[in-house]
Chain A
Amino acid sequence: MSANPNPAEAIFLAAADIADPAGRAALLDERCAGNPELRRRIELLLKAHDAPDSLLDQPVPTAEELPTRAMPVEQSDTTQAYGRTLDDEEELDALAFLAPSGRPDSLGKIGQYDVLEVLGKGAFGIVFRAFDDKLQRVVAVKVLAPSLATTSPARKRFLREARSSASVRHEHVVQVHAVEEQPLPHLVMEFVPGETLQQRLDRTGPLDVLEVVRIGRQIAEGLTAAHATGLIHRDIKPSNILVDSGPAATVKITDFGLARAADDASLTRSGVVAGTPMYMAPEQAKGESLDHRADLFSLGSVLYVMATGRPPFRASSTFAVLKRVAEDEPRPIREIIPETPDWLCRIVGKLHAKDPAERYQLACEVAEVLRDCEEQMKSDGLVKDWTRIPAGAAPRPRRRRWAAFSVPTLLALAAIVWFASGPIRSRFKGVPVDANTGRLIVEVRDPGQVSIEIFNEGEQVVTRRLLDHSRGQAFNDLLPFGRWHVVARYAGVTSPFREVFELGPEGKTVVVPAFAGPPSPTSEPARAVAPFDAAQAKAHQDAWAKYLGVPVEFTDEFHHTFRLIPPGEFEMGTSEKDVEKLIAESLSDKVWEWSYPRLRSESPVRKVRIESAFYMATHETTVRQFRDFVKATGYKTRAERDGGGWVYKGLNAERKPDAVWNSPKYFVSDDAPVGYLVRDDADAYCRWLSRKTGQDVALPTEERWEYACRAGTTTAWSHSHNPDELKRYAWTSDAIDSPLKTVGLRVPNPFGLYDMHGNVDELTLNAAGEAFLRGGSVSELAVMARSARRVPVDDFLPYRASGFRIVTTGDLKKAAAKRESPTASADGFAPLFNGKNLTGWKTVGGTPATWAVENGAIRAAGSEGYLVGDQSFGEFQFKAEVRISPDGKWSILTHVDPTELGMKGKSPRGIGIELTDKGPTNDVQGHRSMEVKLTRDGLPLAIGGANLKPNDWFPIEVTVRDSKIDARFKDGSVGASNLKPGLARGSIALHLAKGNSAVEFRAMEIRELPATSTRAKPDPDVVKAIKAKLAAAESALAIAEARFRAAVAPKTEVLTQQLAVIDVKIDLAEVENRQADVVNLAEQAVKILGDRREMLAALIKNGRIPAGDLIGADAAVAEAKLRLARAKLKLPETKP
């Protein structure tokens, strides 16, 4: 012990070690003799020492509490949440194994846990409240009773079950933090202050219906999570349900799987089932094998006891209870509590089916039904919609009304098939399971080059990968619950595919469709005339995108993402009646009088027609985006020039010079909307962006804004009339002048626009060109964030929440130009075949196929053979329709030298487009699968495919241009871009590639494309575009490197980005004719790809990824080597 220089401290510490007051007093008497002041000081310290204080006892403050939320002032004190209190003797016994602790208020230590209090004793051991010294938090520690812990099977099972329950992480399951073996097996869990459901029922008697449903729903949700990991609780009963004493009264299930361990142990000892069997399922009571549906029976019993106050199966002895569970029907709930609604009785009845097959089959199904009832009761006070309620009290298998089922229910039903087909665990066989994860599968239908990104709301990218012409599963793994984005980018196509969804226990399959190709000149789709629902909103967007030949969504180089807003009609504004009603109901207080004229300016309601489609930014313009503009132009905002924006202090607003858009004082995040702006600032931004992108960027008109915001809805907000729901969609109702929130964190409206309500007030223009703020802000009430809400720009601008979002033209201008001359592109085509005879074509000697013209088509049959055209082509667009006999194989060859055709064992040089009938497909009944393969000199470049009916004509269009080849067909496309060195002009040949089959061609047309002249001088626009791409790739690389350094991204991600940078650099070097650089860069690429291959090989060796992943890496290495070889060929001869 080091000598303590501070006497007060030394005496205090010595005294604090003495628990007994008399002993303490004696110590103070001795050490403070003659110094009453010192003694008083030490007594104060001791008093403080003994007084519990949340601030220094609780775990460290949490980050979550930093922004606006208040820290819980005091945890409610411990209650008897874990069962009965021990009597003294048992307690002594229980504490015998604890190690001494240095902490004065501790009973002793087990591992790193300072035991603070004995909470109770369960079926198998003792529960303590303890303090985790390492992680500085309060936990509950459950210790297997010493008597059981000596029995080896019980011990093993306890540990095994406890470990598997640790993998369940769910709001409604008590989290198991750790499972330890020494000194006795024990389990460290989340500490839940509150009481058990049993204690609650003992205290209050039967619960009211809404409470029953609410608690039941939460239990079902917790069971869903557990069952998803294959864990069965086996002992669902009120004393295993904890009710948090917090305001939300969250319900948590505890003791997962432990019942079984306890059973085992007691059976080993006495042959008697431990615990109460009152909540057991019949199959459990009979000792039969059981599955997750046993928990659902028990859940039924828990619902029953909550509704009636008494367990459903009661008897005087354990054996009699078991018999009743197995054989009897419980007394009808309504005999006990007559006012219980029938639907609740029916749900309990279905859960209480003796035969598991007649119960609900999945916990999520029960959760769904209860959630539905709960929501109906909350909004309507009763359950009106009975579509989900099982028919009749006695459950019989009945035909269900499928049409009325919601999608989630159908999914749940579909999942039953899964469950029925095998033991539950097999679902996740061999995959590490974590209970708050769901399975995400991404399937790619596009046969071309597609890059996939999967990221969550925090932009934590799970994967970013490039798939070369691969159809099939791009991703299949478990991810944490939450909102996820899957974005797929097609090679050479500006519009990405994007799907945003909530991943839940039921998992999700995202299908990335094949890129839809150019628009078909169909008639104009229907205009989006409100009202329409969310699905229709999306359908309108899709239909118009298809019609106009533009993407529904695209992202520009300045990171604005835009959604296509279709033309349509809606009713703008709020009726006088509704405005007055709003005033009377929500804003009748005099303090709101100033707002009445503004509210009344929403009237009258008028019909507005939106003439043409436009693109609106999905997000409000952010600080980051505005900074790009300022960096590029040196622009100073009005606030910066005029002494700052308005800051609110008390009732007064005051100009502050530092209240400007980039002030770190006022803007927490670069990804929050930019504020402190006036209309001039927003206009300047739009002008700059217009110049940069060549598009018309502008502020939205009020009409466009409200139309886009409403997205077909006629309610006050774009989701409903209910302001309470706004929380899911918008940031509103914070304190005055609150910080703005990061954009895009809430749910988007039906058109896919985020934060239309709340966050920052958005500048818009009315017909007279006057600015109005729309959508309300984070500091305003929900009623001020309605779709129709408008605020004239007044003297108090700019303030923190004055910002904007933009609209733009996107590809619409180009599309419009194209539509004006729809036939222009078709014009240049010339027929390759006259439909009557084989003029212009000749057969190739030595190839025995017979070629003939039948019904306007060229038909080849018999053995293999070639037909070659007279003309030769360089770069061209070629169209044809093809029909293949079953199991046939056929190809078109281009750029061939006719003399090379038909040579045995050697493929002719040139491009091949090869179609093979692969037989019946599994995808579509009665269809056959057609493989489309691109080859060069007989070696494959790319593979795609499509389904078609037997004897269907298969349209195909091939474009060869600029060292790229692109083949589009029925519902897909394949392409390849590295045709360097360039192709010599050559003939077109048709090839029947397989004997005993037939093929027909018709409607063959070709259009020669003007040769792309060798670039003597690089086109400045092209160079500029490539440089912009390079900058983007380099910043992506920097991000990847930073993420790698932070250990949140694997090295492979860095390599991928390095490769992307090199690719762009090669493009640039080629455009600028720097061949030596091309070679150097290509060498670097080979090296990196080699490194990546080694890394993958190592991962495969460790079993981290499937062996098949190496094939792609090998192919990439080979391709890079080929590119290097070609680049070297092009080097000037002078180079040694």
Chain B
Amino acid sequence: MAEVTRLIDAAAAGDRRAAGELLPLVYDELRAIAAARMAQERPGQTLDATALVHEAYLRLIGDQAFANRGHFFAAAAEAMRRILVDAARRKKRDRHGGGRERVELPDVPARDPDERLLALDDALTRLAAEDELAARVVELRHFAGLGHEGVAETLGITVYLARQKWTYARAWLRDAMTS
């Protein structure tokens, strides 16, 4: 707990190394929670990424009031994106695996959700090159489940701008993913 808050404080104070150290911590925690949840949840029940991120927050930071939460969510969004993309990659790889006792698999559907997630990831990277802020907005909203207010708070921008960036980025990404 102390470790994370210390890192977040340091990151808030502009220590880039601290920000770098924060990410793996949050990533590990999220991955562990996600794995545990995957194992626990019954089919049909879903647990959204927002809940995961919030659980990770509780575990790492606890219930205390904490001013610099934004840094945590920024790290969590990036971690969640990596986790989801890794999972999609892994699934894809597993599908193309082969082996000793063969199990028939249905053809990979055309609009495979994993493919789409990977495409989104790709497009998001390209968007970041063109408009970093827009990409961060998407990351926070889509992968950490933050609302416009949360996004604005985390990135230190107005809610209005957060909303504008989202609208723009969404169109940009859809276009990038279809073309």
Contacts and interface: CB of A to CB of B under 8 A. Distances in A.
Interface of A: 1-2, 4, 6, 9, 12-13, 16, 44-49, 51, 53, 55-56, 59-74, 102, 104, 133-137, 171, 248, 457-458, 591, 595, 647-653, 668-669, 733-738, 741-742, 745, 779-781, 784, 796, 799, 1045-1047
Given A63-B49, A67-B87, A102-B163, A49 B113 contact: no
Contact of B34 (A9, A63, A595, A651): A63
A591 B100 CA distance: 11
A591 B173 contact: no
Contacts of B38: 63-64, 66-67
Contacts of B178: 48
A136 B120 contact: no
B117 A651 contact: no
A595 B101 contact: yes
Nearest to A741: B39
Nearest to B163: A102
A135 B171 contact: no
A49 B117 CA distance: 19
Nearest to B31: A668
Contacts of B17: none
Contacts of B87: 66-67
B20 to A, nearest CB: 20
A650 B102 CA distance: 10
A741 B145 CA distance: 28
B175 A134 contact: no
Nearest to B61: A1045
Contact of B174 (A53, A104, A652): A53
B48 to A, nearest CB: 5
Interface in B15-48: 34-41, 43-48
Contact of B171 (A45, A66, A781): A45
Interface of B: 1, 34-41, 43-52, 58-59, 62-63, 83-84, 87, 91, 94-103, 105, 109, 111-114, 116-117, 120, 131, 138, 141-143, 145, 147-148, 158, 160-161, 163-164, 167-168, 170-175, 177-179
Contact of A171 (B44, B62, B83, B97): B44
A652 B105 CA distance: 17
B167 A669 contact: no
Nearest to A781: B103
Contacts of B63: 1047
A61 B49 contact: yes
Contacts of A248: 44
A1046 B95 CA distance: 36
Contacts of B109: 70, 73
A1011 B101 CA distance: 65
Contacts of A49: 167, 170-171, 174
Contacts of B163: 102
A248 B44 CA distance: 10
Contacts of B117: 55, 61, 71
Contact of B142 (A2, A56, A651): A56
A736 B97 CA distance: 6
B26 to A, nearest CB: 14
A6 B35 CA distance: 41
B44 A1047 contact: no
Contacts of B103: 733-736, 779-781
Given A45-B175, A136-B147, A653-B100, A745 B116 contact: no
B59 A1046 contact: yes
B37 A63 contact: yes
Given A48-B174, A48-B178, A49-B170, A62 B98 contact: no
Nearest to B157: A2
A664 to B, nearest CB: 10
Contacts of A62: 46-49
Contacts of A171: 44
Given A49-B167, A67-B87, A458-B40, A135 B95 contact: no
Given A45-B175, A64-B37, A171-B44, A16 B143 contact: no
A66 B94 contact: no
Contacts of B59: 1045-1047
Nearest to A42: B171
Contacts of A741: 39
B161 A735 contact: no
Given A13-B164, A458-B36, A745-B39, 5 more contacts: A55-B177, A56-B138, A56-B174, A64-B46, A734-B103
B30 to A, nearest CB: 10
6 contacts: A44-B175, A47-B175, A56-B138, A136-B145, A648-B99, A668-B35
A13 B173 CA distance: 15
Contacts of B158: 2
A71 B36 CA distance: 19
A16 B35 CA distance: 40
Contacts of A46: 171
A883 B91 CA distance: 72
Contacts of B96: 649-650
Contacts of A51: 174
A132 to B, nearest CB: 9
B45 A653 contact: no
B167 A13 contact: yes
A395 B34 CA distance: 53
Contact of B116 (A55, A66, A736, A784): A55
B169 to A, nearest CB: 9
A524 B135 CA distance: 74
B113 A70 contact: yes
A457 B40 contact: yes
B99 A653 contact: yes
Nearest to A727: B43
Contact of B101 (A56, A63, A104, A781): A781
Nearest to A5: B131
B142 A737 contact: no
Contacts of A796: 100
A13 B37 contact: no
B52 to A, nearest CB: 5
Nearest to A136: B145
A850 B101 CA distance: 85
A837 B40 CA distance: 69
Contacts of A71: 113-114, 117
A760 to B, nearest CB: 14
Nearest to B32: A669
Give 7 nearest A-B pairs by CB, closest first: A71-B113, A648-B99, A736-B99, A48-B174, A1046-B59, A62-B46, A49-B171
A969 to B, nearest CB: 44
A1046 B58 contact: yes
A29 B137 CA distance: 30
Contacts of B167: 13, 16, 49, 104
B36 A133 contact: no
A1 B178 CA distance: 31
B162 to A, nearest CB: 11
Contact of A69 (B43, B99, B131): B43
A732 to B, nearest CB: 9
A62 to B, nearest CB: 4
A653 B99 CA distance: 7
A1045 B50 contact: no
Contacts of A738: 94
Contacts of B41: 63-64
B171 A16 contact: yes
Given A67-B38, A458-B39, A784-B101, A12 B171 contact: yes
B175 to A, nearest CB: 4
Contacts of B179: 44
Given A16-B171, A64-B38, A648 B97 contact: yes
B139 to A, nearest CB: 11
A669 B35 contact: yes
Nearest to A647: B97
A784 to B, nearest CB: 6
Which residue among B1, B148, B168 has the maximum number of chain A CB atoms within 10 Å of its CB?
A: B168
B41 to A, nearest CB: 5
A53 B116 CA distance: 11
